[in-house]
A = this chain, B = another copy of it.
Amino acid sequence: MCIREGERVYLLLEDGKDYLIRVEKDKVFGTHLGGIAFNEIIGKRFGELVLTTSGRKAFLLQPGIVDNLFHMKRRTQIVYPKDLGFIVLMLDVKEGDRVIDVGLGSGAMCGALARLVGDRGKVYAYERREEFIKVAVENLSIWGVLERVEIKNKDIKDGFEEENIDALFLDVPQPWDYLEVCWRALRGGGRIGIVSPTTPQVVAVLEKLKTLPFIQVEVWESLFRKYKPNPIAFRPYDRMVAHTTYMIFARKVFSENP
């Protein structure tokens, strides 16, 4: 279980600053606390540390999904971990599911979905802005889930190519325009999750949802508060993220009576 050339390493310096790097033989990685020779990293176990050229500690850790999200290359706003964990739970995404992700953006949510659906599942990712797709492909490739994703560079206004989808995540500026095609793509009982940062957007989504056979409509927002981990002065940090997005959830039903 030793760190090899080419491996991705989450580097945490003793002062809390962190980096997500790929180990390249014979190179040196520069940090504000001094340089780190990659050759010293190779062969170490995760959890061990190396010293920088200035004698400061740098811990070697495996990058996890949250580390990936905060260090990914991106050209768009991403869904925050505080919301992401709740969204995939509410969408009930699991092994074998076939899910749709609109819009792909930089691939953050898509990567999280792909990780959850496993090898037997599939994520259909729609993105109409071609310029974002290259970055997303790069990210999904780094995370090792690209083969579970089918990327489509097209607008969804005319509908999706899939049917009987288990769950659909919608992150576009005017989601109300697409709820009808979303309904069509979902299976009976299938779940939709929509993120919108402003209240007039949420209101427009709710108005549209009322005209379609969706039930169990819920709207949530999350506030996560981080505390200073100091036992003798345990208290919240002074400032926090106050708002990222509202989250809207619903489930498809059929309108026909029995």
Interface residues of A (CB under 8 A from B): 1, 12, 40, 44-51, 59-62, 64-66, 81-82, 84-90, 92, 94-95, 115-116, 118, 164, 187-191, 197-200, 202-204, 206-207, 209-210, 215-244, 246, 248, 251-254, 256-258
Shortest C-beta distance, A153 to chain B (Å), equals 28
Does A64 lie within 8 Å of B237, measured CB to CB?
Answer: no
Does B203 lie within 8 Å of A200, measured CB to CB?
Answer: yes
Cβ contacts under 8 Å, A206 to chain B:
229-231, 234
CA A187 to CA B86, docked complex, whole Å: 27
Does B94 lie within 8 Å of A65, measured CB to CB?
Answer: yes
Does A251 lie within 8 Å of B219, measured CB to CB?
Answer: no
CA A48 to CA B190, docked complex, whole Å: 12
Cβ contacts under 8 Å, A49 to chain B:
253-254, 257-258
CA A238 to CA B244, docked complex, whole Å: 7
Shortest C-beta distance, A192 to chain B (Å), equals 13
Cβ contacts under 8 Å, A221 to chain B:
224-225, 227
Contacts A66-B92, A225-B221, A227-B219 known; A61 to B251 CB distance under 8 Å?
Answer: yes
Q: Which residue of B lies closest to A226 (CB)?
A: B220
Does A189 lie within 8 Å of B224, measured CB to CB?
Answer: no
Cβ contacts under 8 Å, A253 to chain B:
47-49, 59, 61
Cβ contacts under 8 Å, A251 to chain B:
47, 61
